[in-house]
A = this chain, B = another copy of it.
Amino acid sequence: MYKCENFQKIGAFKARGGMNAALRLSQTERQNGLCTHSSGNHAQAVAFAASVLGVAAHVVMPRTAPQVKKDAVLGYGATIIECEPTQEARETTLKQVIDQTGAAMIHPYDDYDVVAGQATAAMELIEDAGRDVAFDVLMAPVGGGGLLSGTALATHYFSPGSVVIAGEPAGAADAILSFKSGQIEKAPFINTIADGLLSSLGHKNLPIIRQHVQDIILVSDPEIIAAMRLIWERMKIIIEPSCAVPLAAVLKNKATFAGKKVGIILTGGNVDLGKLPW
């Protein structure tokens, strides 16, 4: 059973965390607007939340970000501040934006209010399944860990008989290392089509994941692409590569999942249709 967050506002689950974090700010805290740095769906989430709340949004994006992503952010009335495509330039530029505007920063994952927002996806999946389906396993991909830690908490509280298993790209394999060592580790290398899962785990996310997640399964890019194409062909819905990672993990480990009732968060559908991996 799938939770189709590709049909969510902004086309991805990130709308949940961005909106919840924005709503948890007081009117005074958010009166100067919201800000963040992101090249992906979180940028749209913050822009969307600001537009709903009627405040400004300032989004720091690398100048190399695809125009389609910039257009989506601009479409919500946000201001884009371009920077060089490095982590340092992003953070420096964001600090300048905060100094100049007084906007409230919303982190994409290392924030308990964002985690609580992302948790509502699994909560709704569990509710939608009702008492008829008791999930054996709930699954999400892992990047920075906002969705995975939220999924783990929602499962712990609302479906305590289920285990949580994550999928991670082998080409951004930091979470599995951090999961084992208990410290924030870097990925040995970054090379994957799953461009939403490149971040290292957040400090607030790691302890939740270590406590409530059973396993993290690594999958290769060909496995991700095959799972993505399978969902496009059979379900007739559009998902982005990062979104296909949990299904790829299931297909790679059929014996483990055989006969199990599995719930998967399909995280998003924002894909450049002009650049498909087949």
Chain A interface residues (CB < 8 Å from chain B): 6-7, 11, 229, 232-233, 235-239, 269, 273-274, 276, 278
Number of copies of this chain that the complex holds: 2
User: Which residues in B have their C-beta under 8 angstroms from that of A6?
Assistant: 236
B269 touches A278 (CB 8 A): no
A273 touches B237 (CB 8 A): no
Taking the closest CB of chain B, its distance from the CB of A199, in whole angstroms, is 23
| Nearest B-chain residue to A269, judged by Cβ | B236
User: Which residues in B have their C-beta under 8 angstroms from that of A238?
Assistant: 232, 236-238
User: Which residues in B have their C-beta under 8 angstroms from that of A274?
Assistant: 278
Asked whether A236 and B278 contact (CB < 8 A) given A229-B273, A273-B229, the answer is no
Q: A11-B236, A273-B278 are in contact. List 17 more A-B contacts (CB 8 A).
A: A6-B236, A7-B235, A7-B236, A229-B273, A232-B238, A232-B273, A233-B273, A236-B237, A236-B238, A236-B239, A236-B269, A237-B237, A237-B238, A238-B238, A273-B276, A274-B278, A276-B276
User: Which residues in B have their C-beta under 8 angstroms from that of A237?
Assistant: 236-238
A7 to B234, CA, bound (A): 9
User: Which residues in B have their C-beta under 8 angstroms from that of A229?
Assistant: 273
Interchain residue pairs with CB less than 8 A apart (19): A6-B236, A7-B235, A7-B236, A11-B236, A229-B273, A232-B238, A232-B273, A233-B273, A236-B237, A236-B238, A236-B239, A236-B269, A237-B237, A237-B238, A238-B238, A273-B276, A273-B278, A274-B278, A276-B276
A89 to B7, CA, bound (A): 45
User: Which residues in B have their C-beta under 8 angstroms from that of A269?
Assistant: 236
User: Which residues in B have their C-beta under 8 angstroms from that of A276?
Assistant: 273, 276
- Most B CB contacts (10 A, CB to CB) among A238, A274, A278 go to A238
Taking the closest CB of chain B, its distance from the CB of A85, in whole angstroms, is 25
A269 to B232, CA, bound (A): 10
| Nearest B-chain residue to A236, judged by Cβ | B269
Taking the closest CB of chain B, its distance from the CB of A237, in whole angstroms, is 5
A233 to B71, CA, bound (A): 13
A11 to B235, CA, bound (A): 9
Taking the closest CB of chain B, its distance from the CB of A238, in whole angstroms, is 4
User: Which residues in B have their C-beta under 8 angstroms from that of A236?
Assistant: 6-7, 11, 237-239, 269
A92 to B278, CA, bound (A): 39
